[in-house]
Every structure is written in C-alpha cells, then in structure tokens.
Amino acid sequence: MNKATPELDCLYSARAANIKQSAVRDVFDISMREGLVSLAGGNPYLQSLPLEKLGTLAHDILAQEGMTALQYGNGQGTSELREAICHVMAEEFILDASPENVVVTAGSQSALDITCKVFCDPHDVVLCEDPTYVGALNTFEANQVAVHPVRVDEHGLVPEALQEAIVALRAEGKTVKLLYTIPSFNNPSGITLSAERRQQIVNICKQEGLLVIEDNPYGMLKFEGEFNRPMRADNPEDVLYLGSFSKIFAPGLRVGWALVPERFQRRFYLANEAVILCPPTLNQMLVTSYLENHDWKGQVATYRELYAKRCAAMIAALEEFMPESISWTVPEGGFFVWLTLPEGVDTYPLLHTGIEAGVVFIPGAAFSPTQENPNKLRLAFSAVDEESIREGVKRLAPVLIQAIAA
Ligand code: PMP
C-alpha cells in the first residue's frame, strides 16, 4: 500500500509469521448473521446463569472489598480462589491438590501459552491427538513449537501410535517434550480416551521423559453418570492439569487454572507473572463468591442435562438427514460432534456453500497442524436450541450430499 510496508515487515519476529487467526474466529462474525444457524462456535449456553444474583455478588465485592478487587494481586492467583479450585477438582477425583500448586491463569488458553514458554524451545515437538483443539495449535505454532498429531480411534489416543511417534521423531533427531491431550470429550472430535488407555499413556510418557498436559475444560459436562477420572488423579508428578471456568461458568471472565507438578510449580507461576502480572482480581473474587454463594454444582447439573438434550437432537437430526456415506462420533459429553465424509471430499470450500444454505460449521483441516482431515468437519451443539440444531443439520445435508456426488 505504501513504501513503508516492506520495511515494517522487517520488524516482525520469525515467530510472528506463525501467528494466525483461527478458523473458528474466521467464521465468528459470519455466524452471528441473522437467519444463519451456527453450528460452528463452541460457545457455552449462558442464558441459565443467575445474572441478577451475579450482579449482587459483584456489587457486594466492590462495596465491601473494592480496593482489593481493583488492585493488582498475587501472580499465582488469590489464595481463596486457589483453595476453592482444589474443591472443584475434588469433584473430579483429584483429591490431593494443594492450593500451593495451583496457578490461576487468564483462561486455559493462557495456561497453554505459559506451558510453551516454560517447557519448549523453538522446534521442540509437542505430540497431540489428531484432531485437536485449534486454539492450542495456534498457541503452539505462535511459540514456534512443532506439533505432531498422533492417531486416534474410537477409544481415543492409540498408545502404540504414541510410542511409535516418539521413537520415530527421536530417530530423526527431534526433541519431543510434551503430550497435549484432551482426554474427555475432545474438541473437535467429541471422543473420550478410555480409562484403560489413560494410565497406559501416562506410563509411556513417564518412561520416555515426556510431560503430559491434560486439558480438561469439558470434564464436568459429561451427560450421564460418574465423571471420568482424569489422568492427573493418579499421576501428580507426571501430569500438568489444565482446568477452566469457561464451560462450567462464564468464558468472558477469563479465569482458568493449572495444577502444576511440584517440581515445576515455581517456574510456571513466575512465567504466569511475566505474561499477565496477575490474573484479573475482580473476576477471581467473583468466581470465588459464585462458588461459595451459589449452587454451582446444580448449575453444572443443569448444563449436563441441557447439552445432553442438544447432543441427542443433533444425533437424531444427523440420522434423519445425512446419507449412509457420512459417519459421525457420538460424544458422552462436551460440545462437539465430528463428521467424516468419504475420502476425496474437501469440506473447506463447502463452508461457503453452507453459508449460502444458511448454516455454518468448521472444516476439519482447521484442527490439524498439517491441514489433514479435509473430509471431516466439526458441528457444535452447545449454543443453539434443539429446533435450530435440526434446522441446521437439515440445511447442511444437501450441501454435503451434493459435494459427495460431484
Ligand atoms: N482447551 C480446549 C480443549 C478448549 O476447547 C478451549 C476453549 N474452546 C480452551 C482450552 C480455552 O478455554 P479458556 O476459555 O479457558 O481459555
């Protein structure tokens, strides 16, 4: 546009070349358009939150402890919230967590960034599920970390494939540091890692000197029955656990946490301080007050029931409208269903056709560091009501059928 542009480009770091907008953000504005059914974004449903009560809680915090709430705070997070987080994790069988080892972060997204900063040099390898969370891919790539996807089947990450990948990458001279995994209700696949494999996978990582990063934002959104036991529950020294209030409370507050193995705790917390100084004080106090003064477990139960119904509506609509050549996962929790079309179909250009037909989804390639999975796509059922889910799937079916026939 002007002569200065190339010179300005010279100022960019090599890292900046890897910073890109996620496919989910790409369609964020489009998906807000009137008349479109968005099955794209995994936004939690917030309408059932007790807004008036939250207003009172926020008012009380400001009236009674305003100077603290608006002041800088401890870089590790308030001790009250860290204590409360230990109680939250106890619901998911993590019974030995100490507030000392909890670091409050600006959502688990910032915990992922701090993880990269603490553990990875440029070109170090992080292993992950194929497919995996697009926001994690963006963070890893922005930190110049090489991401290597590992095969997944209907029971989650395949232990043999993990072992093979570690051996093969090391034979190529690569430094493999971390396994990043979303064991329960994976984003985007909806797949859950079986209980049996969880320990097998931790054992492999332990033996090979890898740290497991267990990202569990959807764990409590299991539709039915007892929560899945996180890998961290039995492996306090070998798993760095990430939790978040985004899906069980409110993502706009940007409050998440890391439960860090003792030996890494200090460095992790210092890195958190270097990046965000301190997590937002008012928001931490509001989350603490919400946990203390509201039936938050009842709220989670409401969400579990709501998302179970929405998921069932999506599966029913897929059964009603999709042809036999398309298959999909049936999740036991979380927000997402993952569709597989016949080989050779690319879902990326279908995004446009879908929008013309009044429905938005996320193409599969977005969830792979190497743009694999072109014949897959992600549908989210969290943010739309059952009727709209059916309508969205109904609109999507002819788009996919036409692409398969072409
Ligand atoms: N991990 C996964 C698997 C996610 O799906 C998301 C959000 N979509 C995040 C992390 C980031 O969550 P937060 O809002 O806590 O930053």
- pTM comes to 0.95
Contacts for 305 with CB less than 8 Å, ≥ 6 apart: none
Share of the chain above pLDDT 70, in %: 97
Nearest residue by C-alpha to atom 13 in ligand 1: 107
Is the CB of 217 inside a 6 Å radius of any atom of ligand 1?
Answer: yes
C-alpha to C-alpha distance for 329 and 215, rounded to whole angstroms: 20
Going by pLDDT thresholds of 50, 70 and 90, the confidence category of residue 13 is confident
Q: Cα of 217 to ligand 1 centre, how many Å?
A: 6
Question: How large is the ipTM?
Answer: 0.99
Sheet with 376-380, edge to edge strand ranges: 327-328, 336-340, 376-380, 362-363
Is the CB of 109 inside a 6 Å radius of any atom of ligand 1?
Answer: yes
Burial class from Cβ neighbours inside 10 Å (0-12, 13-18, 19+) for residue 57 reads buried
The count of other CB atoms within 10 Å of the CB of residue 3 is 6
**Taking residues 61-79, what's their average pLDDT?**
97
Helix/strand/coil for 53: helix
Digit-coded pLDDT (tens) for 211-231: 999 999 999 999 999 999 999
From first CA to last CA, the distance across the chain in angstroms is 40
Q: Cα of 350 to ligand 1 centre, how many Å?
A: 26
1 has a pLDDT exceeding 50: no
Which CB contacts under 8 angstroms, 24+ apart, belong to 10-17? 14/144, 15/122, 15/142, 15/143, 15/144
Is the CB of 184 inside a 6 Å radius of any atom of ligand 1?
Answer: no
Is the CB of 107 inside a 6 Å radius of any atom of ligand 1?
Answer: yes
148 has a pLDDT exceeding 60: yes
Share of the chain above pLDDT 90, in %: 89
Digit-coded pLDDT (tens) for 20-69: 776 666 677 777 778 899 999 899 999 989 999 999 999 999 999 999 99
Is the CB of 284 inside a 6 Å radius of any atom of ligand 1?
Answer: no
Q: Cα of 108 to ligand 1 centre, how many Å?
A: 6
Q: Would you give the distance in Å from CA 257 to the centre of its chain?
A: 13
Going by pLDDT thresholds of 50, 70 and 90, the confidence category of residue 158 is very high
Tokens of 213: 């990063």
Test site for ligand 1: of 45, 115, 133, 214, most ligand atoms within 8 A of the Cβ: 133
**Taking residues 160-167, what's their average pLDDT?**
98
Is the CB of 246 inside a 6 Å radius of any atom of ligand 1?
Answer: yes
Atom of ligand 1 nearest to the CA of 24: 8
Q: Would you give the distance in Å from CA 42 to the centre of its chain?
A: 9
Q: Cα of 40 to ligand 1 centre, how many Å?
A: 15
